[in-house]
Structures are given as C-alpha cells and as structure tokens.
C-alpha cells in the first residue's frame, strides 16, 4: 500500500491575494500533493481533516529563536533543548526555525553546531539549521551580548562554521570587525552572512554587501542609524535591493512608523518577521538567566536591570497579528513575511514557505482573531 492521502477541507486557504474558500489541500506523507477544488474526485477517497472554516496559512519560519518553553539554547546546547524550544514555538504556528546561539565561548559554539546537526538527523520537528549571533561583534553595539567574549574568527572557527552541515548556517557579525576576505570566504562556503551588532559606516557596510553579506539582523536595533550625511548600516540596508532585513514586530524594539518606513523602502519580499525569542515564550515563568543576569519579561518586554533589551517575548503568531493590526499590512503580506520571505532568505524557497504542490506540508491554522489552533509540520498534525 502507498502512503495515504489526507485532504484538508472546509478552510479558507490563504492564496496570494487573500483567503479563498472552496479549496482542498491534499497531503501525502510530508509533502503537499495538490491544492484543488473541494469537489475534486481525489478528495472523496482521502482521509478528511475539517478545518471548520478557519484560515490555513503556510507555516511560519523564524530565523532567530534564542529559546522558548523555559529553555535558553546557550544554556542547553543539546538535542533535547532544541526539541523543547521547537515544541514551545509550534504552538504559535512556527513550523521551521533557526535555533540561535548568542555570543558564547568557542566550546559552546561547537556544541551548538553539533546539537543542531544531531537534531536534524534525529528528525526533531522544525529545526532548519542554526543562527550564530556572535561572537564576532562590535563592543559599541553590543546590546545584551557579553563583550568580554567578542573576538575575531580564527581558522578553527571558520572550519567549524563552514564544514558540511545538515542544515543552513546563518552568522551575524559586525562587518567592520571581520575582514572582507573572511566574509567572502564564509559566503562562498555557503554560510548566510548577516550584519548585526555593528557600528559600521555606510561605505563599510556597502563593501561587506559586495563581499557576500545577504541581510541584517533585527534592523534598527544594535546598528548605526540612518543619518542625513552618513546613511549608516540602516541606510545601507534600506537602500540595497538584494538583501533581507529581519524585523522584530513586538511594538517595543521598533516603532510602528519605523517599521512601515522600512517595509516600504525595501524591495518586495525582503522584509522578514523574526522574534528574537527568549525562554518565556511558551513557558509559565517570565524569568530566565542570561550572562549571569536574571531577566524578567514584563508586559512583553525582556530587559536587563539597566534597561537593555534582552531578546523578546514575541511569538510568530503575535508578530503576524501586529503586522496586520499595528503596522497595517494585509494578512497575505504579513503571512509572506513570516513564511515565503524567510524561506527565500534561507535558500529553501523550493521546499518551504508556500502553499503549493511539492512543498513540505507545513501549515498554521488560525481562527478569526489570528490565533493559532493547529500546526502541521511535514504532514504531522499538532493541536495547540
């Protein structure tokens, strides 16, 4: 017997121009087999899953997840931790994510790289690779990172980061700190090199883009701002038509007006929703320990005692709602910022991020308030 066919019916399928009724999504194994009319003969012979009139969106892809479910990846760079983080975030529609290691020692970095490889090999749902946010950053724009651990990449670092990996590798670095030849070497080896926590000028950033930088980590935050005579990192990011920009849409990291300006300035498809999520997401406790400090999330804001933002308590579903209600985007575009666009940034656009035949059966099912009620990852159904 072949792999059985499942038909998701009675939903509003989010197509390119908005939700459409009267469609069925056929799933066989881990892939979408077809999106067809509800009266297609194949539907009658399939196992039916009734969406009860709810919205069916492509599953969300988050390229910056520090933790969730009470777990911080830095504190527990293990397969078990990755499974717990993924389980916490899939309640909010995240079907693919990059566990993110903020600045740490070389030993912890290697443990994290190996843990992600092992998690992908073992089939931990949702793990697409790793995001190394540091330690090659600028003290002047350190944010919550521990500047005592900042350094330049050596040959061992480059070998560890560039060796064959089961998933994608994203690396955030300060473009003024790392030589252009190293940026070029990393990029040519397949690493997704991203600028962040950087005090660079526009010219330095422009040179780094030409050397292989493909995007910007949490645009506006921890980087030189756009000025009238010195465009800075933000100016380079908004001016460049080819790079992607991650945006934390929690209402705290970036003002809604600044978000609208960035989204309007960037080429279509280059603005990406990220969470920068910390352990409180999907956890009962608002507290976690980072760099020896106890951080408490209050009113959705994660801050140290001295007022420095320490990641976020944002989940992707809330980010999508904020894009619609706070920023004013149509739901279809907000959805793309959470799915198709990050998939393209990661080079996974052929397999992830859209509701089309041949893609992974990764779905987020949302009610009329845009809250997640079901998640599907590679054809496996999870209730919330």
What band does 17 get if pLDDT is binned at 50, 70 and 90? confident
How would residue 303 be classed by pLDDT, with cut points 50, 70 and 90? confident
- C-alpha distances in angstroms, 345 versus 97, 206, 272, 299, 353? 12, 19, 9, 31, 11
62's CB contacts (< 8 A; 6+ apart) are 89, 94, 96, 97, 98, 273, 274, 275, 277, 316, 338, 342
Using only the alpha carbons of the chain, give its radius of gyration. Answer: 20
- Is the distance from CB of 33 to CB of 26 less than 8 angstroms? yes
pLDDT score at 348: 98
Q: Are the beta carbons of 342 and 355 closer than 8 angstroms? A: no
Q: Would you give the end-to-end CA distance of the chain in angstroms?
A: 31
Mean per-residue pLDDT over the chain, rounded: 96
Q: What does the pLDDT read at residue 1?
A: 58
pLDDT-above-90 percentage for the chain: 91
What are 326-363's pLDDT values in tens digits?
A: 999 999 999 999 999 999 999 999 999 999 999 999 99
Share of the chain above pLDDT 70, in %: 100
Considering the candidates 276, 299, 315, 367, report the single residue annotated as catalytic. 276
> Is the pTM higher than 0.85?
yes
Active site residue 117: no
Q: Would you tell me how many other CB atoms lie within 10 Å of the CB of residue 299?
A: 7
Q: What is the mean pLDDT of the segment spanning 87-98?
A: 98
Question: Is residue 249 a contact partner of residue 314, using CB atoms and an 8 Å limit?
Answer: yes
Q: Which of 212, 221, 277, 281 is nearest to 245 (CA)?
A: 221
What is the average pLDDT across 22-43?
A: 96
What domains sit in the chain, N to C, each tagged with a CATH number?
Answer: 5-57+355-383 (2.30.40.10), 60-345 (3.20.20.140)
Q: What is the 3-state secondary structure (H, E, C) of the chain?
A: CCCCEEEEEEEEEEECCEEEEEEEEEEECCEEEEEEECCCHHHHCCEEEECCCCEEEECEEEEEECEECCEECCCCCCHHHHHHHHHHHHCCCEEEEEEEEECCCHHHHHHHHHHHHHHHHCCCCCECEEEEECCCCCHHHCCCCCHHHCCCCCHHHHHHHHCCCCCEEEEEECCCCCCHHHHHHHHHCCCEEEECCECCCHHHHHHHHHHCCCEECCCCCCECCCCCCCCHHHHHHHHCCCCEEEEECCCCCCCHHHHHHHHHHCCCCCEEEECCECCCCCCCCCEEEECCEEEEEECCEEECCCCCECCECCCHHHHHHHHHHHHCCCHHHHHHHCCHHHHHHCCCCCCCCCCCCCCECCEEEECCCCCEEEEEECCEEEEC
């Amino acid at each position: 017997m072949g792999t059985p066919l499942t038909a998701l019916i009675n939903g509003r399928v989010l197509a390119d121009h908005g939700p459409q009724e009267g469609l069925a999504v056929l799933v066989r194994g881990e892939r979408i087999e077809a999106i067809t009319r509800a009266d297609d003969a194949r539907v009658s012979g399939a196992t039916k899953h009734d969406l009860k009139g709810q919205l069916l969106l492509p599953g969300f892809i988050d390229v910056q997840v520090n933790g969730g479910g009470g777990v911080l990846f830095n504190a527990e760079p293990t397969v078990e931790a990755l499974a717990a983080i993924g389980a916490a975030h899939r309640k909010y529609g995240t079907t693919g994510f990059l566990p993110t290691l903020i600045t740490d020692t070389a030993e912890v970095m290697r443990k994290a790289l190996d843990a992600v490889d092992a998690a992908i090999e073992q089939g931990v749902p949702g793990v697409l690779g790793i995001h190394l946010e540091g330690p090659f950053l600028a003290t002047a724009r350190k944010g919550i990172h521990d500047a005592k651990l900042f350094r330049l990449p050596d040959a061992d670092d480059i070998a560890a980061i560039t060796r064959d990996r089961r998933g994608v590798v994203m690396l955030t670095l300060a473009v003024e700190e790392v030589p252009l030849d190293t940026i070029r070497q990393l990029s040519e080896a397949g690493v997704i090199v991203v600028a962040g926590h950087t005090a660079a000028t526009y010219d330095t950033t422009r040179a780094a883009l030409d050397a292989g930088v493909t995007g910007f980590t949490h645009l506006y935050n921890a980087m030189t701002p756009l000025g009238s005579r010195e465009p800075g990192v933000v100016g380079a990011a908004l001016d460049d038509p080819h790079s992607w920009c991650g945006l934390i849409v929690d209402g705290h990291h970036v003002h809604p007006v600044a978000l609208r300006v960035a989204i309007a300035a960037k080429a279509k498809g280059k603005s990406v929703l990220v969470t920068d999520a910390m352990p409180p997401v999907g956890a009962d406790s608002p507290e976690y320990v980072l760099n020896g400090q106890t951080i408490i999330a209050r009113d959705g804001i994660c801050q140290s005692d001295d007022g420095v933002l320490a990641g976020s308590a944002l989940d992707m579903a809330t980010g999508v709602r904020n894009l619609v209600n706070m920023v004013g985007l149509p739901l279809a575009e907000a959805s793309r910022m959470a799915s198709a666009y990050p998939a393209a940034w990661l080079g996974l656009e052929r397999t992830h991020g859209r509701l089309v035949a041949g893609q992974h059966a990764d779905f987020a099912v949302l009610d009329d308030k845009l809250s997640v009620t079901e998640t599907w990852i590679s054809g496996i159904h999870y209730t919330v």
